[in-house]
A and B are shown apart, each in its own frame.
Chain A
């Protein structure tokens, strides 16, 4: 479990809901920059934000964030 990276399907799930980064950011009360950095994998969100994102996008946290073994 040491060599694992966190990937996310945020962009795909966001597209399914037809939401822009700004619209999603407004729904979970963060800035667009935060959504952008999470989407690019540069920032790992807190449990709270991950749950908020999952709830807003009607998916489970596991569907949104996936651990990939290298």
Chain B
């Protein structure tokens, strides 16, 4: 039988995966729909991109509400909160921020070099940076937190 703590740990992991999935879909969808408005080839696919952005946004929002509710529920029980945010989880969080820092730094280098050969739009760079920063932290935590 799975205990309450184990159950909540699995739920947290699923919510983070859902959050990342929705966030990626919404940002990529927004970006592609912007490109398709200026490109003749991609203009036919614009409704699909917009739809995927909307789907991603709804999914992201749904998971965000779930995460907020989860946090609210846990805060009511200090012992449960202590267990779910124990020292090992805090260490994994610290590690994931450390990994994300290097991923962001390396990605800036790639963006800078790419920009030397191909002019990137400011909007694209901003969206890409947001996507990389958010995903790097969450995905590295999910990878570090998996059962070994």
Binding site for B on A (CB under 8 A): 22, 25-26, 29-34, 36-37, 40, 42-43, 45-46, 48-49
Chain A residues near B48 (CB-CB < 8 A): none
Q: For the complex of A and B, list the 6 residue pairs with the smallest distance between their C-beta atoms, beginning with the closest.
A: A34-B88, A30-B86, A29-B83, A29-B82, A34-B86, A22-B3
Tell me how many residue pairs across A and B have CB atoms closer than 8 Å.
Answer: 46
Query: Looking at chain B, what size class is its interface with the partner chain?
Result: 10 to 19
The majority secondary structure among interface residues of chain B is: helix
Binding site for A on B (CB under 8 A): 3, 5-6, 9, 79, 82-84, 86-89, 91, 145, 147-148
B79's nearest neighbour on chain A, judged by CB, is A29
In the bound complex, what is the Cα–Cα distance between A37 and B6 (angstroms)? 15
Whether A33 and B82, one on each chain, are in contact in the complex, defined by CB atoms closer than 8 angstroms, is: no
* Choice from A26, A40, A46 contacting B5 with Cβ under 8 Å: A26
* Choice from B3, B9, B88, B145 contacting A26 with Cβ under 8 Å: B3
Whether B89 and A31, one on each chain, are in contact in the complex, defined by CB atoms closer than 8 angstroms, is: yes
Whether A45 and B89, one on each chain, are in contact in the complex, defined by CB atoms closer than 8 angstroms, is: no
15 pairs, CB–CB < 8 Å, chain A vs chain B: A22-B3, A22-B6, A25-B5, A29-B79, A29-B82, A30-B83, A30-B88, A31-B83, A33-B147, A34-B87, A34-B89, A37-B148, A40-B148, A46-B87, A48-B87
Given contacts A30-B87, A34-B87, A49-B87, 4 further A-B contacts (CB under 8 A): A26-B5, A30-B83, A31-B88, A32-B6
